[in-house]
Amino acid sequence: MLTAVAAFAGIALASGLLLGYAGVRFKTEGDPIVEQIDALLPQTQCGQCGYPGCRPYAEAIAAGDADINRCPPGGEATIENLADLLGVEPKPLDPEAGEEKPPEVAWIDEDVCIGCTKCIQACPVDAILGAPKQMHTILEDECTGCELCVDPCPVDCIHMVPLEGDIEHWKWPAPDVTPGLEIARLQEGRQSA
């Protein structure tokens, strides 16, 4: 009896030590699920979800504080990806957060800009170039289209312009065939046959 207890205590102690060592030796930096969620978010850093950036939103989702349907720039595709990752049902975009729009970039009307630097302070990705009392301009390739620079501008010289419609961003359209249509056509065919 005593030997058994001693043996089990010994095994428990050894396993405990092993686990403790492994915990230190193989410590993971940060929360891997947060990383995975963050990787699926579009990194617009617009804050429409109610959190100050994509990573804080990812942290909130991981903690169970936020729903997965609060990212308008990511839209349906992001919601589906998040649902896949987290093993939950996808749901429609929360209209409270905003609505899904085609991608845009900011554009500064340089004739109107007074060089106040307010937009530069608002830009989450440093995509605006300029200095006090110097004209500002947008680095189009870096702009995420978050719109955070639009409101602070005192002279309303920042406009959002759609990215789609130019040849560089053109995509081959999907064939105009939906599964429902195919089946409907087949059924029609049967009826007439």
Task: By CB under 8 A, name the binding residues for other proteins.
Answer: 38, 41-45, 53-55, 124-127, 142, 144, 165-167, 169-175, 177, 179, 182-183, 185-186
- In angstroms, what is the minimal distance from the CB of 51 to other proteins? 13
Cα torsion for 117, 122, 127, 131, to the nearest 10°?
10
Q: Pick between residue 122 and residue 150 the one whose CB is nearest to other proteins.
A: 122
- In angstroms, what is the minimal distance from the CB of 167 to other proteins? 5
- In angstroms, what is the minimal distance from the CB of 139 to other proteins? 10
Q: Pick between residue 23 and residue 165 the one whose CB is nearest to other proteins.
A: 165
User: Do 161 and 104 form a contact (C-beta atoms < 8 A)?
Assistant: yes
- In angstroms, what is the minimal distance from the CB of 56 to other proteins? 11
Q: Pick between residue 95 and residue 189 the one whose CB is nearest to other proteins.
A: 189
Task: Find the radius of gyration of the CA atoms of the chain.
Answer: 26
Name the pairing type of β-strands 137-138 and 128-129. antiparallel
Cβ contacts of 97 within 8 Å, gap of 6 or more? 48, 49, 50, 69, 70, 71, 72
Q: Pick between residue 2 and residue 174 the one whose CB is nearest to other proteins.
A: 174
SS3 content of the chain, % helix, strand, coil (to 5): 40, 5, 55
